[in-house]
């Protein structure tokens, strides 16, 4: 009798596994249902259970909880004025953020090309403009079904990067720890590196600082912190450049900080520009 049950279970698994990716995306859209791969992830604060989900494209996303945080930097002589005033921001809804930067393999599977200067299917896609990223997102959304993809807002990005930290970098202010967490000018060898090789932050996100800059949805303004909404801010309604966060493989250590801001024209392409996506219900 037990053997019959085991055989039935094996047959059910054989039927279910080929469609598991699409099934998991469907569950994301059904209230009250989630399908997580929950594992032990080491980080600077100890070991934490990190809930994640893998979509039909094979991209893995971390569930970022709603919450409040201090955005920006307290007054300091050696930081940019556009990081101030530091202010409390509320992220009112949880969201899924890519565990890794979008890789060249993931980009090529959708766009059928690879614009990257530093070739490698497990490296982050680079040399992509904000406008090209929008075309990538549009193609993903054409076939996504129950979910939709987008760029994170600048506030969502910093909230996720900090992962509860209040220091300049999510691992703390110890400069000796930099090379264990971020690819930057001193350790990158002047190139990007495969995603996920260094230590993640406390929420299991890799390469939030260093490797490639990550486009955000917002228009940039040097004075937005003094004027914007404090609940789910979306940035100004217009501008000349889009926000970039995180620093890149050629960045100085002073740029590799959770609050550091940069901006470029949305048509601009560089070898150190990449992308990380948000996935949410339609």
Residue 249 three-state SS: coil
Q: Average pLDDT in the 103-110 region?
A: 98
Residue 195 three-state SS: coil
Tens-place pLDDT, residues 183-241: 999 999 999 999 999 999 999 999 999 999 999 999 999 999 987 789 999 999 999 99
Please report whether residue 94 resides in a domain. Answer: yes
Which pLDDT does position 37 carry in this prediction?
Answer: 43
Please provide residue 55's backbone torsions phi and psi, each rounded to the nearest 5 degrees.
-85, 180
Q: Average pLDDT in the 276-280 region?
A: 97
Tens-place pLDDT, residues 128-179: 999 999 999 999 999 888 899 999 999 999 999 999 999 999 999 888 899 9
Place of tokens 């307290």: 74
Q: Average pLDDT in the 20-32 region?
A: 37
- Its domain, for residue 277, covers 58-281
Which pLDDT does position 134 carry in this prediction?
Answer: 98
- Integer angstrom CA distances of residue 231 from 62, 147, 157: 21, 23, 14
Residue 105's pLDDT band (boundaries 50, 70, 90)?
very high
Place of tokens 């969502």: 156
Which pLDDT does position 4 carry in this prediction?
Answer: 53
Residue 267 three-state SS: coil
Please report whether residue 14 resides in a domain. Answer: no
The pTM (predicted TM-score) of the whole model is 0.84
Residue 78's pLDDT band (boundaries 50, 70, 90)?
confident
**Summary mean pLDDT of the chain:** 86
Please report whether residue 196 resides in a domain. Answer: yes
Q: Average pLDDT in the 246-266 region?
A: 97
Query: Interhelix angle for 130-142 vs 104-111, to 10°?
Result: 70
* Cα within 13 Å of Cα(127), Cβ side: 12
Please report whether residue 28 resides in a domain. Answer: no
Please report whether residue 18 resides in a domain. Answer: no
Please report whether residue 255 resides in a domain. Answer: yes
Please report whether residue 271 resides in a domain. Answer: yes
Q: Average pLDDT in the 31-53 region?
A: 47
Please report whether residue 145 resides in a domain. Answer: yes
Assign residue 232 the CATH number of its domain. 3.90.1580.10
Number of structural domains, the chain? 1
């Amino acid at each position: 009798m037990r053997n019959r049950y085991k055989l039935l279970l094996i047959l059910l698994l054989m039927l279910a596994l080929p469609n598991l990716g699409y099934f998991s995306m469907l569950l994301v859209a059904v209230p009250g249902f989630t399908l997580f791969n929950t594992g032990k992830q080491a980080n600077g604060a100890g070991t934490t259970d990190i809930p994640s989900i893998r979509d039909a494209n094979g991209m893995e996303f971390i569930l970022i909880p709603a919450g409040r945080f201090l955005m920006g930097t307290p007054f300091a002589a050696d930081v940019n004025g556009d990081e101030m005033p530091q202010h409390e921001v509320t992220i009112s809804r949880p969201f899924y953020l890519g565990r890794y930067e979008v890789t060249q393999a993931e980009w090529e599977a959708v766009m059928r090309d690879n614009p990257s200067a530093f070739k490698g299917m497990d490296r982050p896609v680079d040399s992509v403009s904000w406008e090209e990223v929008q075309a990538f997102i549009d193609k993903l959304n054409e076939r996504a079904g129950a979910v939709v993809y987008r760029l994170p807002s600048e506030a969502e990005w910093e909230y996720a990067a900090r992962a509860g930290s209040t220091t300049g970098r999510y691992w703390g202010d110890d400069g000796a720890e930099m090379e264990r967490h971020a690819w930057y000018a001193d350790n990158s060898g002047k190139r990007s590196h495969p995603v996920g090789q260094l230590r993640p932050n406390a929420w299991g996100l890799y390469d939030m600082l260093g490797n490639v800059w990550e486009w955000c949805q917002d228009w940039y303004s040097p004075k937005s912190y003094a004027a914007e909404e404090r609940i789910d801010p979306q940035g100004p309604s217009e501008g000349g450049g889009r926000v970039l966060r995180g620093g890149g493989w050629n960045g100085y250590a002073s740029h590799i900080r959770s609050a550091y801001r940069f901006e470029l024209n949305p048509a601009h392409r560089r070898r150190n520009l990449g992308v990380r996506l948000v996935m949410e219900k339609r």
